Chain A
Amino acid sequence: MAVSLAMTVNGKPVNADVDPRTLLVEFLRNNLGLTGTHVGCDTAQCGACTVHVDGNAVKSCNVLAVQAQGANVLTIEGLIAEDGTMHPMQAAFRDCHGLQCGFCTPGMVMSAIDLVNRHPGADEATIRAELEGNLCRCTGYHNIVKAVRQAAAVMGK
Chain B
Amino acid sequence: MYAVEYQQPTNLADAASILASTGGRALAGGQSLVAAMKLRLSQPGTLVDLSLIPDLKGIRRNGDRLVIGAMAKHAEVASSDVVKAALPALAGLAEGIGDRQVRNMGTIGGSLANNDPAADWPAAVLACNATIRTNQRAIGAGEFFKGMFETALAPDEIVTAVDFPVVQRAAYAKFPNPASRFALVGVFVAQMGDGSVRVAVTGAAPSVFRATAIEDALAKSFTPVAAKGVKVGADGLNSDLHGSAEYRAHLISVMASRAVVAIA
Given A19-B3, A20-B6, A45-B179, A67 and B101 touching (CB < 8 A)? no
Contact (Cβ within 8 A) B6 A3: yes
Contact (Cβ within 8 A) B101 A21: no
Is A63 in the interface zone, CB < 8 Å from B?
Answer: yes
B14 → chain A closest CB, angstroms: 16
Kindly state the separation between the CA atoms of A59 and B106 in the bound complex, as whole angstroms: 11
Is A6 in the interface zone, CB < 8 Å from B?
Answer: no
Q: Using a CB-CB cutoff of 8 Å, which residues 31-68 of chain B contact chain A?
A: 31, 34-35, 37-38, 47, 49, 51
Contact (Cβ within 8 A) A59 B30: no
Kindly state the separation between the CA atoms of A56 and B34 in the bound complex, as whole angstroms: 19
Contacts of B179 in A (CB 8 A): 45
B150 → chain A closest CB, angstroms: 23
A46 → chain B closest CB, angstroms: 10
Contact (Cβ within 8 A) B4 A20: yes
Kindly state the separation between the CA atoms of A59 and B37 in the bound complex, as whole angstroms: 16
The count of residues in chain B whose C-beta lies closer than 8 Å to any C-beta of chain A is 28
Q: How large is the interface on A (under 10, 10 to 19, 20 to 34, 35 or more residues)?
A: 20 to 34
A106 → chain B closest CB, angstroms: 13
Give B46's nearest chain A residue, CB to CB. A20
Given A21-B3, A56-B75, A66-B6, A47 and B49 touching (CB < 8 A)? no
Contact (Cβ within 8 A) A20 B47: yes
Is B22 in the interface zone, CB < 8 Å from A?
Answer: no
Is B246 in the interface zone, CB < 8 Å from A?
Answer: no
What mask results when residues 1 to 29 of chain B are scored 1 for a CB within 8 Å of chain A, else 0? Answer: 11111101000000000000000000100
Contacts of A64 in B (CB 8 A): 6, 27, 30, 34, 47
Contact (Cβ within 8 A) B8 A69: yes
Contact (Cβ within 8 A) A133 B35: no
Residue of B6, B8, B99, B100 with most chain A CB atoms under a 10 A cut-off: B100
A110 → chain B closest CB, angstroms: 9
B118 → chain A closest CB, angstroms: 15
B residues near A (Cβ < 8 Å) are 1-6, 8, 27, 30-31, 34-35, 37-38, 47, 49, 51, 75, 98-102, 104-105, 179-181
Shortest 3 CB-CB contacts between residues of A and residues of B: A133-B99, A20-B6, A56-B104
A residues near B (Cβ < 8 Å) are 1, 3, 19-21, 23, 42-45, 47, 50, 53, 56-59, 62-64, 66-67, 69, 111, 114-115, 130, 132-134
22 contacts between A and B (CB under 8 A): A1-B5, A3-B6, A19-B3, A20-B4, A20-B6, A43-B38, A44-B102, A45-B180, A47-B99, A57-B104, A58-B101, A62-B30, A62-B35, A62-B102, A63-B105, A64-B30, A66-B6, A69-B8, A111-B101, A130-B100, A132-B181, A133-B99
